[in-house]
Amino acid sequence: MSNDVAAAQQALVEEFAFFDDWMDRYQYLIDLGRRLPEFPEAFRNDEHRIKGCQSQVWFVAERRDDGRLSFRAVSDAAIVSGLIAVLLRIYSDKHPADILATPPEFIEALGLETHLSPTRSTGLHSMLEAIRRHAADAAGME
């Protein structure tokens, strides 16, 4: 089986390579965040809130019949919404084993560690941990 997570990371890195500077990359992140699908109001509660994010982030994971994990999330902050869009593109609708087997190399490849504020970086890692935790739980059920 090919690793869809690694392929999604590579595609994202190639996409971001089109932008010459970080102002353009930030704007692209904001644009990606604006295109997030609607998030049900019923999930905007403490049970679905990701701790460790300075902004409000709500996150839902669902296991599909084919074993893949589907993620939905939303934030009240523009750049964080863009980071959510990136994470959903890479990890949503993927197999738990692929999620767990693939290090998040896109973070370094895009330069996110050096260009995000410390609080946004912490939030990114909190969201990533939530995705990996759901993947580990799902992998344990296989």
User: Tell me, what CATH number does 83's domain have?
Assistant: 3.90.1010.10
Q: Are 87 and 9 in contact (CB under 8 A)?
A: no
Please give the tally of structural domains in the chain.
Answer: 1
Residue 58: helix, strand or coil by DSSP? strand
Structure tokens at 35: 């295109």
Report if pTM > 0.85. yes
Instruction: For tokens 């049900």, name the residue.
Output: 40
Which one from 5, 53, 86, 87 is the annotated catalytic residue?
Answer: 53
Q: Is 117 a catalytic residue?
A: no
**Rounded mean pLDDT of 109-134?**
92
How far from the centroid of its chain's Cα atoms is residue 69's Cα? 13
Band of residue 60 on the pLDDT scale cut at 50, 70, 90: very high
What is the rounded distance in angstroms from the CA atom of residue 138 to the CA atom of residue 96? 6
Its domain, for residue 57, covers: 4-140
